[in-house]
Chain A
Amino acid sequence: MPAYLFWIFALLMLVFGAAVVINRNPIASALNLVVSFLSLAALFMSLDAFFVGIIQVLVYAGAIMVLFLFIIMLLDLRVEKLRKINWVASAGGIAVALALLTQIFYVIGNLKAARQTFPPLARSTIDDVRNVGLALFGNYNLPFQIIGILVLVATIGVVLLSKREVR
């Protein structure tokens, strides 16, 4: 894919990711996160990973964020808007983030593998859905089933907890 598309979507993702943190309005934050997810999906698709990209949209942007939005709306978080910004804490947070960023740049700069240029990837011809399915139900069948049971347990736990509260 053309490199400029990568830069556009990467920039979009970062900008909207930052907007999630900066925005005072919870709904606006959630929507920014959705746009960030969409840009991430575009990045996946530019790598010919259609399945991952689409699942990114379907699960995160389409289902999880809708649930988030739903709950934010029901809670009606007006307090968040009124709260004063704690400048000391924000400055500390920004400092930590900057330190991490410089660290990452330093590590990548010193990594040998990161300095060489890779040849462009050949266009994939395989059906990635089939591959994901084969990997999940072939090599990783047992872990997959265990995760399924874990999720089931978690669901039952949530149902139990919410039932108790009603009484």
Chain B
Amino acid sequence: MAITVARPKLNWRERMYLPAIAAGMAITIKHFKNMILGRTKVTMQYPEEKWDSSMPEHYRGAPALVRDTDGRVRCVACQLCEFICPPRAIKIVAGEIPSTDRFAKVEKYPEEFDIDMVRCIFCGMCEEVCPEQAIFLRKDYAITGFTRDQMVHHKEKLLEIGGVMHGVVLKWNEKK
């Protein structure tokens, strides 16, 4: 059933329409004036001002590989992240650590570790699944490139973003 909404009965002042126009004009000019005088708070001017400093600790930006304080790449190429990654953005080629190495016990290391940032959805599952605390989501969010190839983060790039992680469990170090 159609409902008829009764039109409000306007008094002569409202029907003259002019006071309403004047009021509206006053509002817009007030905003204009406040803006000119710099009293209005406006949006952050992005490339000049960034919100990096106020970003929360749990921010999920680009995933990255980290080294520990010994300078070791923490990833052991277990490929769990490759398996869990919902958009299948991660590709790992594992290599063997020579027996002369200090960390020969680890056996595997990632020879190649690519994350396709076109595919990555920043879900953080790789970080969550990683048994080695090797992959973390850092605070980088402006990931750009002119081609698809440029959007693939290789191992070097990932390590560069990741840097050194302090305060992680160092389970592969020799026992004292």
Judged by CB atoms under 8 Å, the answer to whether A and B touch is no
A contacts, CB < 8 Å to B: none
